[in-house]
Amino acid sequence: MLDRRRYLSRYIPVAVVLLLAVVLTVSCYRCQSTPKPEPVLPAKIPIVRVLIARSVESIDVGTTGPYEIHADGSVVARSMASLGEGKLSRRNGRWSLHAADYASDELTVVAVGQSCVRVGSGLYREKVVFSAGNGGKILAVNHLDMESYLTGVLARELYRSWHARTYQAQAIAARTYAFYEMGTFGRTHRYDLRSDQSSQVYGGFSAETDKARRAVEATRGIVLAIGPEGNEKVFRAYYSSCCGGMTNSAYVLSGPPVTTGPLAGGQKCDDCKASSRYRWPAVTVPKKIIFRALSKRYRQVADLGELKTIEVVAEAGQDESFPRAVWINVVGTDGRKVRIRADDLRIALLRDGQTQGLYSMNCRIRDTGEAIVFDRGRGFGHGVGLCQWGAQGKALRGCSVQEILQLYYPGAKLFRAY
């Protein structure tokens, strides 16, 4: 992590970097252009830190070619041959790999040249840093350049058959999201992003495809920014699979109601109709199952003893036909209530292996006595920002990358960060 702060202060507030702020213009509806290639900039690409494994007792580690091993920054092993797969474990403050033993807080496996680091069943570029997490268990974090990282994201976030412009729009949104996380969450953590749906799905080198690589190259360094010229800032460019007909406000995910800016939602989107989750049938979940899932996540819910019902206490939606639960009360049989975000109910069920087709909280919530029914469901995911199925529909209709992004993030402009 060389000069990480200096690096971030230079790039994240995207403010000072004067390069070009390409103001988006919604022009010809069927324009086929891609982001204009801008002069090649000599600036370095930032390093992203992605959590690829956590809370494991031991993990299989190796390399596909030449490597180095660093213990707290000092080289302790180096070879032009590959590192055979072995179990990395940590006991009493020491790392053990093959016959070697290292007394250090961190152990880093660096892939040299074209080599990759193997961790579990995945292959990763550049290097993987292992450190002790909670309870001394292992935390594995892949450090690699932003552009390679995005290649491993796109290949997991989108279907292989999807349009090149869908890939490019997604690359710009994902780059913006990653920048934002580096400058916020990453400042106080050992990693910037997780590798699952809680941030962006990342499959490492093993997941990369040529299509993903081309889209990342075509949009190199371009992010979405808001703010006046000279003081541009990135924002958390959320995106999801299918909005179900209208994008949501970021309010459904966090913080106070969002009524302005690129994440205010309310954009009509019929281009995601091709998704099988554009509309989905009623889902009935027994109250016992809901109570069990929520109890695992919230001690206060567990204290209720039993679930009486779910009450919607706040909704979002610019259009009456699209109200969506934002806050709900989990009501116990004695009348006590615990207020949680509606989306956290879906996530709790998901983590408890109980999704049962509940693809979003864009639905009506009904109590039938024994169960809660989620009716008239629309979309898949939180529906904030870019709708992936919608972006694909728009790309097929001939929309440009700029047009797609302008639609899902109104008011944001394209900005080359490096």
# residues contacting Zn ion (CB under 5 A): 5
Q: Which two tokens stand for residue 206?
A: 């093993």
Binding segment (CB under 5 A) for Zn ion, from list 41-49, 167-175, 364-372, 381-389: 381-389
Question: Contact between 246 and Zn ion (CB under 5 A)?
Answer: no
Strand residues in 261-418 grouped as ranges (E) = 279-280, 283-286, 307-316, 324-332, 337-341, 364-367, 371-375, 377-378, 386-387, 413-416
From 173, 387, 399, 405, residue interacting with Zn ion (rule: CB under 5 A): 387
What is the CA angle 173-395-175, rounded to 5? 10
- Residues 6+ away with beta carbon under 8 Å from 50: 141, 142, 144, 149, 191, 192, 193, 194, 195, 202
The residue (of 250 and 372) whose beta carbon lies closer to Zn ion is 250
The residue (of 387 and 404) whose beta carbon lies closer to Zn ion is 387
Residue 390 CB, nearest approach to Zn ion (Å): 3
Question: Contact between 243 and Zn ion (CB under 5 A)?
Answer: yes
β-strand 364-367 against 138-145: which pairing, if any? unpaired
From 186, 204, 390, 410, residue interacting with Zn ion (rule: CB under 5 A): 390
The residue (of 118 and 382) whose beta carbon lies closer to Zn ion is 382
Question: Contact between 405 and Zn ion (CB under 5 A)?
Answer: no
Question: Contact between 269 and Zn ion (CB under 5 A)?
Answer: yes
| Pairwise CA distance, residues 191 & 383, whole Å | 26
Q: Are 108 and 130 in contact (CB under 8 A)?
A: yes
Residue type at 246?
Answer: M
Residue 22 CB, nearest approach to Zn ion (Å): 25
Residue 391 CB, nearest approach to Zn ion (Å): 8
Q: Report the sign of the C-alpha dihedral through residues 408, 225, 181, 116, in that order.
A: positive
What is the CA angle 361-379-53, rounded to 5? 75
Question: Contact between 193 and Zn ion (CB under 5 A)?
Answer: no
Residue 229 CB, nearest approach to Zn ion (Å): 31
Q: Are 221 and 416 in contact (CB under 8 A)?
A: yes
Residue 246 CB, nearest approach to Zn ion (Å): 8
Question: Contact between 140 and Zn ion (CB under 5 A)?
Answer: no
Residue 240 CB, nearest approach to Zn ion (Å): 9
The residue (of 117 and 269) whose beta carbon lies closer to Zn ion is 269
The residue (of 62 and 390) whose beta carbon lies closer to Zn ion is 390
Binding stretches for Zn ion (CB under 5 A):
243, 269, 272, 387, 390
